[in-house]
Amino acid sequence: MDREFLKRKKRIVVKIGTSTITHVDTGHLNLIKMEKLARVLTDIRNQNKEIVLVSSGAIGAGRKALGIKEKPKSLSKKQACAAVGQARLMMIYQKLFAEYNQTIAQILITKRTMINEISRKNAENTFLELLNMGVIPIVNENDTVSTDQIQDENFGDNDTLSATVAQMVQADMLILLSDIDGLYTDDPRNNEEAEFISCVEKIDDKLFAMAKGADTKFGTGGMATKIAAAEIANSVGVDMVIANGDDLVNITRILDGKKVGTLFKA
């Protein structure tokens, strides 16, 4: 499928997972990747496009700051890690985006924000006002007061959250950055004969059957949660691309209409 139409996308939600902005071996934040992300997103903003960033990584950042080696098992410990890590994450984003004179904002939301009509409308108004001001909102699940994501692995490292945010802000496009090039017929890390799927025009049970769970120490989102996110996004007319976050210039390539990642056509 020709992707020239992606050049016309104006309001874009970009989701970046924990495994993309941390060093897999140590779990420490990958500052070079985060700096490049700030540069790429600011450059897209400079093209008069609107950007919302959904960023995971708070629990992982908190773990490292607190010197906790293993993934915390208790809910309260996960929440404590998130509280410490979220502050650290935003401090770094603030410094990096300031280098390019780009103003950012923090928005912490929960599933309940989406369900409650008044809360949802308030959040929507805030998003739209920030975008109108040229600000890049940085969104995460409010793990301190909500346990939906950290209790439910299927919620998937902000995959579902990013799709719901795309729906809320009436985005044109959702880009999910993962540690894989896109959707394959099987896990390419275990099966050499797995075939790459460039475009998906219909999401069905067969597609979900192809999906594999997460297998990184720091992330929680597997391919199944990404397909679920695509289903949410596509249902409200939002095109979605899953692409490899290892090279963050992929964001620019996608918006230039290049065939990068798997396109889920709305």
The per-residue pLDDT for range 224-236, each reduced to its tens digit, is 888 999 999 999 9
Say which residues have a Cβ less than 8 Å from residue 6's Cβ, sequence separation at least 6: 173, 239, 241, 254, 255, 256, 257
Check residue 157 and give its pLDDT.
Answer: 60
pLDDT per residue as tens digits for the range 172-222: 999 999 888 998 887 777 888 888 999 999 998 888 777 654 444 444 447
Check residue 205 and give its pLDDT.
Answer: 81
Check residue 144 and give its pLDDT.
Answer: 64
Check residue 146 and give its pLDDT.
Answer: 56
Counting as low any pLDDT under 70, the low residues of the chain are 143-157, 211-221
Rg (CA), the chain: 17
Check residue 148 and give its pLDDT.
Answer: 55
Quick one: what percent of the chain has pLDDT higher than 90? 58
Cα atoms in the 13 Å half-sphere on the side-chain side of 179: 22
Say which residues have a Cβ less than 8 Å from residue 146's Cβ, sequence separation at least 6: 110, 111, 112
44, two tokens: 């897209």
Domains and CATH numbers, the chain: 4-264 (3.40.1160.10)
Check residue 214 and give its pLDDT.
Answer: 41
Question: What pTM was computed for the model?
Answer: 0.90
Check residue 216 and give its pLDDT.
Answer: 43
Check residue 116 and give its pLDDT.
Answer: 87
